[in-house]
Amino acid sequence: MKSILNFKLLFLIIIGIALCFRLPQLHIRPMHGDEAVHAIKFGELLEKGVYNYDPLEYHGPTLNYFTLIPAWFLSQQTLTDVSETTLRIVAVFFGVCLIVMLLFFLDGFSRPVILFAALFSAISPAMSFYSRYYIQEMLLVCFTFGAIACGFRYWKSKRLIWAIFLGVFLGLMHATKETFVLQLGAMLLAILLMLLNDHRLNLKTLKKIHPWHVLTLSLIFVFTSGLFYSSFFTNPTGILDSMLTYKSYVARGAESGIHFHPWYYYLKMLLFSKYGNGPVWSEAFVLILAIWGLITIFVKGKKIPNNNLLRFLAFYTIILTGFYSIIPYKTPWNLLGFYQGMILLAAIGTAEILKVVTKTQKWIVYSILIVCCAHLAWQSYLANFKYYAEPTNPYVYAHPTKDILAISDRVIEIANLYPDGLETTIQVIAPNDDYWPLPWYLRSLSNVGWWNEIDEQFPSAPIILASPVVEEKLLEKLYLLPPPGQRNLYVPLFDSTMELRPQIELRGYVVNDLWMRYQQSK
């Protein structure tokens, strides 16, 4: 009884640690371009009640629909009311759920394994950083783990309820991100390898599965996925689009460009990263323990309780790591899927080490664990609260600089001095739509136009933001095209160089009269 109480107390403490790295100051990191895109898409759903799945962008709809819950709870009815905290709390919730769901495996893993897996997840810089990110990745990892947990519970009990929950989680995986096929493929291949590894025992178990349980699971999967992709049956074409989307994603996965990285990109990021004068980042400690976990599973074999589950986990993690490594298109948050498997393997490895060492050696192992965990926790603190927007942080990827806050503040402050106030016309001109996340930061302004090139026919706005590459044509439009007597004098909007992202400058122009009014107001 005492050990159960200790387990519960330690698990609650770990959940508290996870919240400490995920919940505070969700607003401090500037919104990433991808976060802003999803936020604007969510705004349409919040304000108009409309969501139409786009097979070319945005991924699946679960992120948008689940964000309605905190928005409604906070009585936020427009996108202007919504804050970064409202959006990112969704990822926080599923990041913590990922840890809580370890409890589904109380009769699959030992208690030390569950506690170590929970601790490593709670303090992992990668896990905590992307648990504060308004993108689909943490939802996909959480739903995938939910599907594995329900699959395990069904394998143990053969009860229909777990088949139903498995169908729900598989449907949520599909409705979250198109890349769920990688996780699903890794699961199926892992099951196949597990059967080949011990076909007698596993075929005997397979025969106990009721066919209509499989049918029910499949129907629930289709229903859950269809519910979201059809926007709750208001847009049936969304279901068809969710299948047609793979044509564009296959092409994107193989295309070259800024997201094209070598196969070892994710592993190198986890093992060792150092950029400029920034700190050293490494989660090698977890990877080394994961390798020890793998060795334990395959060497000890049936001597370990629930060996089927452990072998499935080992196969699944190896296969999924291979999938994501082979695909040339890589973004750092994609590593979460297989890294969560590595964390579980690391927990298994840690528990096995503690089993085989002597009592004296155990204290040495605990001392090393404390130092390594403290280092992970320190990196999580740095990643989330100090280097949250710095390029020296390996998990910061194509991220806007803190200048974005000064840019938007200056524009809104000056617009409020114009007679039209927040309805002042503002032009933003940047080739290839390279102005994100500005639409999020300028959401309180109702008359902002977005251009990829100079439109000579459109009257020049009193406030203009533009990429330097269009400046020459912009100055021609401002000073050469208007007839004499109709030219406005424009002055720089900013006192210093402003960067949208590192080395991506954004320049601002404001009519002189408005600038003078701004100067007098200070």
Using an 8 Å Cβ cutoff, are 401 and 30 in contact?
Answer: yes
The pLDDT tens digits of the residues spanning 243-265 come to 888 877 777 666 667 788 899 99
Counted residue by residue, the chain has a size of: 522
The pLDDT tens digits of the residues spanning 157-208 come to 999 999 999 999 999 999 999 899 999 999 999 999 988 877 666 667 777 7
pLDDT for the residue 44: 95
* Interval 229-256 mean pLDDT: 83
Question: In the chain, what is the straight-line distance between the N-terminal and C-terminal CA atoms, in Å?
Answer: 67
The pLDDT tens digits of the residues spanning 85-116 come to 999 999 999 999 999 999 999 999 999 999 99
* Interval 377-395 mean pLDDT: 96
Instruction: Using DSSP bridges, classify how beta strands 426-429 and 448-451 pair: parallel, antiparallel or unpaired.
Output: parallel
Kindly list the distances between the CA atom of residue 511 and the CA atoms of 282, 404, 493, in Å, as whole numbers in the listed order. Answer: 50, 21, 9
Distance CA 56, CA 178 (A): 11
Flag the least confident range among 129-138, 223-232, 294-303, 311-320.
Answer: 294-303
pLDDT for the residue 2: 61
Buried b (16+ CB within 10 A) or exposed e, 73-107: eeebeebebbebebbbbbbbbbbbbbbebbebbee
Distance CA 249, CA 322 (A): 18
The pLDDT tens digits of the residues spanning 478-493 come to 988 888 778 889 999 9
Which residues are registered as beta bridge partners of 260? 329
Where is 511: in which H helix or E strand? strand 507-511
CA-derived radius of gyration, the chain: 26
Distance CA 160, CA 215 (A): 11
Instruction: Using DSSP bridges, classify how beta strands 504-505 and 499-501 pair: parallel, antiparallel or unpaired.
Output: antiparallel
Report field, pTM of the whole predicted structure over 0.85: yes
